[in-house]
Structure 1
Amino acid sequence: MKFNTKCVHGGGKSDNTGAISPAIYMSSTFSHPGLGETTGFQYTRESNPTRDRLEKLIAGLEDGFDAIAFSSGMAAIDAVFHLFSPGDHVILGDDLYGGSIRLFTNIYEKNGVEFTYVGTSDLAAVQAAFKPNTKAVYIETPTNPMMEITDIRAVSNMAHDRNALVIVDNTFLSPYFQKPLNLGADIVVHSGTKFIGGHHDVISGFTIVNDESLAAQLRLVYKTVGACLSAFDSWLVIRGIKTLALRMEQHQKNAIAIAEWLKQEPKVTKVLFPGLPEHPGYEVNKAQSTGFGGMLSFEVDNEETAKQVLEGIQLIQFAESLGGTESLLTYPVTQTHPDLKPEDAERKGITRRLLRLSVGIEDTDDLIADLAQAFNK
């Protein structure tokens, strides 16, 4: 079954009613046919038919053995880090979503997990960061918000030689453009709130694995901690996925056109988009994915210009989040990454001149026209 078809039919048939849209099972608990017998569902914190359908769908899209649907992307990441114990060491990319950094710094460092941040696009730096107690490497590719690319195959080979796991946040490209498990990664995480859900109307997260033992460990965390996705939210994500392939193509088409337009804008000093041939990660990204996605960042000449654009856009909306049908412009320094130390933010280029654009599925010309009028107010 091809990817586009999986998006529509990959969760299996709905039920025996013939309903095209799957049922939403709003039951918190399920009765047993008899003593020692089960329908396969006991209690919704552990399992639910609507969520089960979504999990089968996501596992199929990522070519995984098992997928688990969480109440948020952060809940999914948190579940993964329950795999580690005090004294364990994890290598982290040094350009990650600010919420992930906040989780690692305020929760897991306090609980005894040791972290080393490195630029994971630099393979020598990754190799140098390994310690005898290293248990995993955690990466985003492309990164948020600096759009850096990491060679998943190379990092996976490096980690597996040392019996360490590789965890990839695949939110920016979605399984439509990139499948990290097929490149050697052990665990994929998603904020399903973003491209997978795709409509800015549901918060969700996912973990996907190929290993039965890892799946069992994550499911134990899942049912114990209880950060499960509700039946209704599962249905919303199933509905969103039906158009995932179509949306990703339009996101990318628009992003390529806007990136090329931004290069010609005099007030733009840098465009960060993996789909530009001059991007340092362009060839690596081409080798491990089938596209470049709909996310880009750009730097302007000064803070005043950044403020002018943020306040001047009319069609594009000034808002956090990403990956939905509507285009969103974000100011990382105050919105997604405010918890970074100023010196760390400055070192990474997350300054008051940096803007991040989640390109929606609107008409390309309308988006460019909106940016043009915002720059020239």
Structure 2
Amino acid sequence: MQIHKAYKFRIYPNPEQEQFFAHHFGCVRFVYNRMLALFKETRQFSKNQYKVMLPDLKRQFEWLKYPNSQSLQSAVDNLAAAIERWRKGLGGFPVFKKKHLKSSFEVPQNWWVDDDGRLHIPKLDSGIKVVWHRPLGEHNKQRYPFKVNYIAISRSPSGKYWASFSCGVEVPEPVLNPAQDMAGIDSGLKDLVVGVNQQGQVKYQVAAPRHFRRSEARISRLNQVLASKQKGSSNWRKVKRKLAIAHERVAFRRADLAHKISYQLTQENQLVGLETLNVQGMLRNHCLAKSVSDAAIRALHTFTVYKGEWYGAVVQFIERWFPSTKLCWDCGSLNDNLTLSDREWVCPPCGRHHVRDVTAAWNILQEAVRLLPGSPEQSP
């Protein structure tokens, strides 16, 4: 089975290479925005016809001749993919790229890595310093063990440069191991993850880390300092970079925790039951929006789904309206009077004592097992 992975490495370009990258970023951004403006005007898009326009653009704008031509064609490909996602309802309408946000360009081929580990790309004479944090292998003189489809050079708002290698990796077909556990996972704002196994025992419990809340004071202070600087000045750019680094650290910490939890869930369980959450609706609640975005529940679910495909774990989502929190697993009655502040409750008909998140996780597991064809229902 072939899966697609992207390996991201930090690169350290010299001032000449930074200028080369800046020119590439600007040209790719210009082509993307130009084609998007044409699409918004005509509402007709043909990838091949738009690529045919590139030579005319180069004759009209001389500075478009210097970047790699395949990078400009990749900008049209990316716009075509964004439009296709919008037409299928998988994303919003494409927006224009901005200069001071993340910038990138793609190099589909003709790149190589020399014996010193420096990356060489077309139209750049010198090699780029790369921090290879993963072991390297030999593959068609590219010093990489997998088939690389393309690489993407990017610059984050914090001023860091990255090289991302998109690879097609052959992995064995996943084999379900019946001896592994099953887990029902309840995700919330107080505890990010509460998971129980098929015996009803709490196997996972991770408190919500609240990364943004911990960095909020520094981010707020940097916003105040930024507002006091003259926009576009040298000091304004310095503070803006510090602010971008503060936000980047929060994003890295969220992603790191989501990757670790999702990896553990898919490695240790044959079945992972998750609840379908309306995250967009939760973000409309002004009392919970900051905590919901800080928890990054959607990222956790997304990582768990694709890691389950890689490692042979079944990830089963239950329907959004399933009353996992209010349902008594003993007598099956519903407690409609339960509020968000009630962390424990007693079932009125049978008197069973419930811990809110543990009960929800157990009900999610039972429902996930029920949705699997031919699986026997569990009981604690």
TMscore range, shorter length: under 0.3
TM-score, with structure 2 as normaliser: 0.23
Q: Which has the larger radius of gyration?
A: 2
